[in-house]
Amino acid sequence: MNWITTMGFVAGICTTSAFLPQVAKIFITKKTQDISLFMYIILTTGVLLWTIYGLINEDLPLLLANGLTLIFVCSILVLKLRHG
Amino acid sequence: MNWITTMGFVAGICTTSAFLPQVAKIFITKKTQDISLFMYIILTTGVLLWTIYGLINEDLPLLLANGLTLIFVCSILVLKLRHG
């Protein structure tokens, strides 16, 4: 695996795992007032479409990365709807 | 352009534009307390790496989508550092 492919993998790990600190922060503080509801509605829709796109094209890295991201952004959306 | 490609474009538009409502919300409220700093540090790093990856691979859709997203997530990061 060359360094360009490695960079792609690192990029994917970053953009997927980035949402975990936000999930953790909400679990601790129970506060979501400053978080945009519309951001997470649009983002959840987009990541869901990327997941379906990866599934149809049998693109495993795209499917895995977006499938995982979908769980995280969906969690933030649910927590936002719960805490307001 | 078939419906699968169209879905990919819609997915890209969603995951890029999703960050705009958050930028707008911060501009209006000047509040970022509930937003995770670590999320935007990791996300900015990831999107920057995707942009470089798209540039090296001469992948225009990847480059454009991530280049635009980078502007938005960078703005949120700067606003978070400013408002705390």
ipTM for the assembly: 0.92
Q: Is A67 on the interface with B (CB under 8 A)?
A: no
CB contact under 8 A, B53 and A8: yes
CB contact under 8 A, B7 and A53: yes
Distance separating alpha carbons of residues A18 and A59, to the nearest angstrom: 22
Q: What angle do CA B54, B49, B1 make, to 5 degrees?
A: 30
Give A24-60 pLDDT, tens digit per residue. Answer: 999 999 999 999 999 999 999 999 999 999 999 888 8
Q: What's the CATH code of the domain at A19?
A: 1.20.1280.290
Give B9-38 pLDDT, tens digit per residue. Answer: 899 999 999 999 999 999 999 999 999 999
Query: pTM value?
Result: 0.93
* Total domains in the fold of chain A: 1
CB B18 within 8 A of CB B47: no
Per the structure, the complete domain to which residue A71 belongs is given by 3-83
Question: Which of B10, B14, B46 comes nearest A14 by C-beta?
Answer: B46
